[in-house]
Structure 1
């Protein structure tokens, strides 16, 4: 297998502070509208049954919002879509609540809190909402989670010769953990990746590794967003796609290793 992996992007989902979805967010990233930071607005996960909808945490809702946008954009109706979930820390609010319970005299943790505490909880909710029975991977690589998820999804697409959706999301911790891990708001990116070009393909990307420095936004607010939230390390790639430009972009991954991406619009 080549050390450089090539796939096509057929759908994109985006949600972040001031970027409510890919349709509007792409205008901002393309420079056609100014970026205005605002609290993230998370859509209600209507595809979930009522009981699961009530229990769904913010990271589940963000993941569903971005993934369903990407799937809808691609016009995909396949219920057997392989998936990769990559979160830098998982459900921060739920983790905080469990820690509070364990630090109290009453240490009885509710079943809902417990089943939402596992790192693959969002994958379970997603499979219920989409009725997907295909395999899924759930990763965590701290600030490198976007890069790790992208590499995993690319490898699946190339090796298995099948579409795969990448979902990378982050949610904030309450205090006191927020001081140690200050993720400011809910955010996420979803990419529907395919091995072959289709009539709805948006861009072709070829990805390898490099020690070049990562791309930085000239817009100070977008750069703050990129560095403050691990899933937003993918924003420079989305900017190139939104501008419909061919080019070379370097994304953050590990301290001494980054991802070199060649982007070609379709």
Structure 2
């Protein structure tokens, strides 16, 4: 059964794309067939897999606007078992042009779910905003994972994401579930991190708190080389943390 999951947070700089890309690679390394779908006009997931957003002939914008079919937009990466539907800055036009069109939040799910059975995982990386693209990703997905830095301002973003998830669940996608919160830039020894993890466990349950991703410079460096952290620094704490996270997600 194909699992369609989305890494989402309305706040930028939370490690959302880093989590989507590296989890996708880790799952692919376990032998799972993975399609990473970049739904962010910044195209950071595309760049992180070594693809140039301006050089791809077809991508998510063409798929959503009906200019290309799904097969035409899927691009193989250099990593075994991992393919991507790349993004580009053109995607901003889709949100502008379609945001007032009735039913536009269903376009993505209609386009990608028809061929979902060819993959073990569809992993969606939407922008760090609450707009049509993020809503579309939530409508298409079954599972939401929320990367979240361990500071109190991030709790506000978590609350807002939960309200959005409940809304999408009620209006468009009754199958959608929040499956986990991923502590990012994590230092388990700080008092602040301990207090926030306790709050998460109290409000959502211990099973929703996933393995933390420690602060690691390799995570910031790897995209500049068009690589995942597992390619760039396989012995780093970042690579080990994402392998542990992917293992946990795969078992769920």
Using structure 1 for the length normalisation, give the TM-score.
Answer: 0.27
Structure in which a larger fraction of residues adopt helix: 2
Using structure 2 for the length normalisation, give the TM-score.
Answer: 0.28
Greater radius of gyration (CA): 1
Structure in which a larger fraction of residues adopt strand: 1
